[in-house]
Every structure is written in structure tokens, then in C-alpha cells.
Structure 1
């Protein structure tokens, strides 16, 4: 069976808003994430993907969980990290050209928006309460 490894960054700003991205042609939002490249650690992947998709440099605070699921016959394992932004965004630099927007979302917005990964919603809402 095929497998895919990825990392995701969960980043809040000083207003307790969550950094999220959406793809072109979609109204669904997700936290920045992407696939781990050869020779890359999950932590390195997280830092790179957040930078590419949002323009923010971040530092990792802690690993939260590893989500294991199966999507269309592919075993998917995603490492989720709490990260902290460093400085300001230099703009989206997504080499795949799929990210249309990056934005800070408040708790009420996150509760009511469409999510790319609806199964992550409860977990994301808990992160607001941890701060």
C-alpha cells in the first residue's frame, strides 16, 4: 500500500487567531501542511511548509500529535506541531502554486468555516483553549 508522510503547523498570533490557508478554487481552509521530502525530518518539513504557504518563519514549540488515516487507499501519517511565528510574513511562496490565501482566523470563524479536513476541527478548537 502507498504511504504519504507530512507535517502541519499550528500557529497562533497575539490576538489568539489561527494561521490558515486555502487553495485556489476552494472555499475550504486548513492549517499549513505538506509532504515530507526525502532526507527531511518532520520538524524541517513543518518549518518549510509554513514558510512556503504563508511567508512566515516559525519556530517549533512542541509536537502535538501524529494523525494516521487512510485516504483513497493511501496510508497517511501527518505530524502536527505547535509553532510560533518569527517576524512578519514575506508573502506566499508556494512552489506548487496551489495556495490562494493565507489568513489569521478567530475562534468564531474557525467554528463556522468550511474545513479541508473536518476531522481536525475538534482538535483545532482545543488548541484555542490551551493558550
Structure 2
């Protein structure tokens, strides 16, 4: 089993979310929404229960869900929803980075780098 430090693991999770959000902005498919949900859960699992991170993840998922729903029915105005999605993404990213900075004083803190088994 290989190990990564927490900052690298968070950077990896945040980098995986960016293309999913880009697809949601362009296409707005429900498959992308499911992918986003999986990535958010994976990112939250890097930390012990943190209400701030959980709330930011809920906001991001909710903003993405609203964009997907409204893009399928061609509702307007989409610009406001895109802005809300970007703000939610920034909030989620800053919460994760802040949690890493608070945990940074623990040099020995590492996260095992192995895939999480998914329920079928």
C-alpha cells in the first residue's frame, strides 16, 4: 500500500472535480452529476466528520443539480446558476484547503492511496 500526504490527496480530489464540473456546465447530464457525487464523497472521506466541508459539498452538489435540472427543461436564466455553481466550487475548494492547512502541523499525517470499494 502506498501513502500520500494529505495535501497531495486533496489536490488530486479537487483536480478530479474540475472536469466533471466543466461537463456539467456544458452538457448538464445526470451521469456527470453522479460522478460529482462520488468525487465529493471521496474528498470528504479524507477528513473526519467536518460540518463545514459537508455543507460546502451539499451546496456544490445542489448547485450542480439545479443546473442539470434546468438545462434539461431549458429554463432561464442559466447565467445565475453558473455563477452559483462556480461560487459553490470555490467555497468547497477553500474548505478543503483550509482543513489541510489546519492539519498541516501534523507532519506524520498521511492518507492511504488505495481505491475505495463501491457498492454495486
Query: Based on CA coordinates, which of the two structures has the bigger radius of gyration?
Result: 2
Name the structure where strand makes up a greater proportion of residues: 1
Name the structure where helix makes up a greater proportion of residues: 2
The answer to whether the superposition gives a TM-score over 0.5 is: no
> Which structure's relative contact order is higher, taking Cα pairs within 8 Å and 6+ residues apart?
2
TM-score, length basis structure 1: 0.27
TM-score, length basis structure 2: 0.28
